[in-house]
Amino acid sequence: MVQRQTEPYRRSFSGSVGAGMGALMGGAHKQFYVLEHRMSSKYHRAGETQKIIVDQIEMGRDPRCQVRFDDSFTSVSRRHAAIVRDGAGWKLVHLSKVNTTLLNGRPVTDEWYLQNGDEIQLSSNGPRIGFIVPQGDRSMIKNINFTERFSLFRQQALKPYKQMMVWMSVVFLLVIGGFIGWSVLNQQQNQKTNEMLAGSIASVSARQDSAGIEAQKQLAAVSNQAQTAAQAAIQASQASQASTSQGINQLRSELVDLKSDLKSAREEKTESESAKQTVSAGEQTAASAVPVATGMTSYESCFPYIYYIQLDKVERTNKKGKTEVINIINRWAGTGFLLSDGRFVTSRRIIERWYFQVNGNLMDEDMRPLNKAVCNLERVVAYFTAYSSTGDALAFTSDQFTCDRSADTYTVLRGPLGGLVKGARLRIAPSNGGKDWAYFQTAKKGGLKFDTSKSTSLGRGIPLTILGFPAEVGINSASGPVYGSGVTAHSGLDRGDIMTTNTSFEIGGSGAPVFAVSETGEYEVVGLISSMAEGLRGVVVPIAAVR
């Protein structure tokens, strides 16, 4: 990739705090962009988005990076890459001296301009981030409400300079404290003045008896003036006292906030130094995917989150808008499961069966008309109900799911003499390559723990547990899903999938979760069953591919 050269990048106060202040005040005519995290980590969940309102951000493991990754990503540098505003657009700047930065799969050695929809990856096996610019007026900073802008300002503009801002706050509060101290001394001086004035009034009153009428009038006038001055002094003293009290309360509040910020900065520094001592340069550790469920130390504890999926009906809508229910003779079924982040996951061949070959054949008789309908730009929707062994039920349709159709290919059928069969153009989904997955987001709480990092880096000979509902068994198994097992055939992935051997599971269990046991003895999902092959071999889609 040929690099585009502009001025060299340097982190600047104006690009961070200055730009943040401009955005905070309304950001007239300025755009923001969105970063979409496509892998889970300690600080970000897969699917999470971040609005960026400042002119420059950095990505890496350093606590000062606005987009931070935990130390389990050892191939991510402390300051790995930056995104910097360049005129009306943005550019990606490579910072790491050790690890690569990829843009749409190609390495960036210096910098490159970003386009809407680009994918950034920090090292070849590191986290992936989508770059998204909202369309039209929705991309303007002024459309973000002030509360959210202030929160983004603290997270993005102040983060690189957090410790400096904390100490500046300390100096500012000390100055305020000195002013309040001066106010207290001034209040005490006012009280002494009031006492002197009161004594003068008493002395004047005592002399009134011995003075003549003219003197009494003069003394009365003096007395009235003195009383008025005394009352004015007392009121000023009270106002000064109220101001001082308010200042003391404000100082107390600022000191509480300062204590919290200092504690946060100290914890980040401690965490960073601890990570430096424990993580060495080539170590690979498993990254937790922010699980919700806990205590899954037996496969029985996973049962409530595993579902039997059955087909209810299939509808076809032609180009004229007419919808009909298709008679499916051989109804299919499969397995799905809930993850701790609320995603319901299964195999794509369960949700969109009409795209998949069966036993090496292009399609069975039920699926070929549906595939041809899709190729003819007609709408095909399958309706399902999923049941767990605890009685919980979920109803959904195929068009609710997110799938990866990027590797689908087209083919045509030929007659006995080699000629093309009219209307026989078919769209075929790949049977491997980490594409056989589908999910939709639910509002359910709790689910199976999963580990995206481990799913792509399993070693050879790792025992795996499979729990699912093969079509022949279904939900009639009152004791829960059927147990199966397998062993990883080699290290890492094979063309995007986990290959297993000695796999004992019933045919027809596509979509079943595949578990590995963590060091703490808990069952964690590392993939899902795609298909079974001869010779006790299995194809497992890594859970990291589901995004």
> Considering the domain boundaries, does residue 63 fall inside one?
yes
Q: Report the range of poorest mean pLDDT among 264-278, 304-318, 377-391.
A: 264-278
Q: What is the pLDDT of residue 369?
A: 85
Per-residue pLDDT reduced to its tens digit, 522-541: 999 999 998 766 557 889 99
Name the percent of the chain in helix, strand, coil, to the closest 5.
35, 30, 35
pLDDT higher than threshold 50 for residue 468: yes
Residue 208 has pLDDT above 70, yes or no: no
Distance CA 14, CA 443 (A): 41
Please report which confidence band the pLDDT of residue 220 belongs to, taking 50, 70 and 90 as the band edges.
low
| Whether residue 150 is found in the same domain as residue 19 | yes
| Side-chain half-sphere exposure of 245, counting CA atoms within 13 A | 6
Same domain, 268 and 308: no
73 SS3 class: coil
> Which domain CATH number covers 306?
2.40.10.10
- Domain co-membership, 472 together with 330: yes
Q: By the 8 A CB rule, do 532 and 505 touch?
A: yes
- Is residue 418 pLDDT above 70, yes or no? no
200 vs 112, higher pLDDT: 112
**For 228-239, how does the pLDDT look when each residue is reduced to its tens digit (9 = 90+)?**
544 554 455 555
Question: Which pLDDT score, from 0 to 100, does residue 508 have?
Answer: 61
46 versus 274: which is more confidently predicted?
A: 46
The answer as to whether 291 is a domain residue is no
Residue 287 inside a domain? The answer is: no
Higher pLDDT, 375 or 273: 375
Do 343 and 271 fall into the same domain?
no
DSSP symbols for 304-332 = GGEEEEEEEEEEEE-TTS-EEEE--SS--
At 226 the pLDDT is 45
What is the pairing mode between strands 420-428 and 409-414?
antiparallel
In this prediction, residue 513 has a pLDDT band, given cuts at 50, 70 and 90, of: very high
Average pLDDT, whole number, for the chain? 76
Same domain for 217 and 73: no
Q: In angstroms, how far is CA 85 from the centroid of its own chain?
A: 23
The residues, any chain, with a CB within 8 Å of residue 191's CB and separated by 6 or more, are: 237
Examine residue 530 and state whether it is found in any structural domain, yes or no. yes
- Split at pLDDT 50, 70, 90, the class of 21 is confident
Lookup: tokens for 229: 């001055």
Confidence band (pLDDT; 50, 70, 90) for 81?
A: very high
Contact 54, 160 (CB under 8 A): no
What pLDDT was estimated at residue 219?
42
Range of the domain at 30: 13-157
Q: Looking at residue 531, what is its pLDDT? A: 79
pTM beyond cutoff 0.85: no
Same structural domain for residues 272 and 337?
A: no
Window from 282-291, 301-310, 337-346 with minimum mean pLDDT: 282-291
Predicted confidence (pLDDT) per residue in 350-402, tens digit: 999 988 876 555 556 678 888 888 888 899 999 999 998 888 899 999 999 99
The residue written with tokens 């400096």 in the block is 164
pLDDT in tens, 163-172: 555 545 555 5
Which pLDDT belongs to residue 446?
87
113 shares its domain with 241: no
Indicate whether 181 belongs to any domain: no
Reply yes or no on whether the pLDDT at 448 is more than 90. yes
For the ranges 54-58, 144-148, 218-222, 379-383, the lowest mean pLDDT is seen at 218-222
Cα distance between residue 332 and residue 310, in whole Å: 7
How many domains does the chain contain in total? Answer: 3
Share of the chain above pLDDT 90, in %: 29
Averaged pLDDT, 130-138: 83
115 and 198 share a domain?
no
Max avg pLDDT among 30-34, 206-210, 312-316: 312-316
Tell me: do 423 and 475 sit in the same domain.
yes
263 plus 310 within the same structural domain: no
% of the chain at pLDDT higher than 70: 66
Using CA atoms, how far residue 479 sits from 251, 303, 523, in Å, is 63, 9, 19
Lowest-pLDDT choice from 138-142, 333-337, 443-447, 455-459: 138-142
**Which of 249, 278, 307 delimits the end of a domain?**
278
**In the structure, what pLDDT confidence band is assigned to residue 199 with cuts at 50, 70 and 90?**
low
> Would the pLDDT of 275 be above 80?
no
User: What's the rounded Cα separation, in Å, for the pair 355 and 349?
Assistant: 7
Nearest to residue 137, comparing CAs of 32, 55, 36, 53? Answer: 32
Domain boundary residue among 212, 245, 278? 278
Residue 176 counted as domain residue: no
pLDDT band at 427 (very low <50, low <70, confident <90, very high): confident
**Residue 200 belongs to a domain:** yes
Of residues 186 and 476, which shows the higher confidence score?
Answer: 186
Do 400 and 541 fall within a single domain? yes
pLDDT in tens, 482-491: 888 899 998 9
The residue among 391 and 196 whose pLDDT is bigger is 391
Would the pLDDT of 336 be above 50? Answer: yes
- State the residue for tokens 């202040």: 21
- Residue 209 belongs to some domain of the structure: yes
Strand 379-388 vs strand 409-414: parallel, antiparallel, or unpaired?
A: unpaired
pLDDT tens digits, 87-124: 878 899 999 988 999 998 888 888 888 888 889 999 88
Residues 200, 88, single domain; the answer is no
- Give me the pLDDT at residue 469, please: 85
Q: In what order do the strands lie in the sheet with 56-60?
A: 67-68, 56-60, 81-86, 89-94, 111-113
Domain finish residue from 278, 308, 343: 278
How far, in Å, CA of 435 to CA of 347, rounded?
A: 9
pLDDT at 470 over 80: no
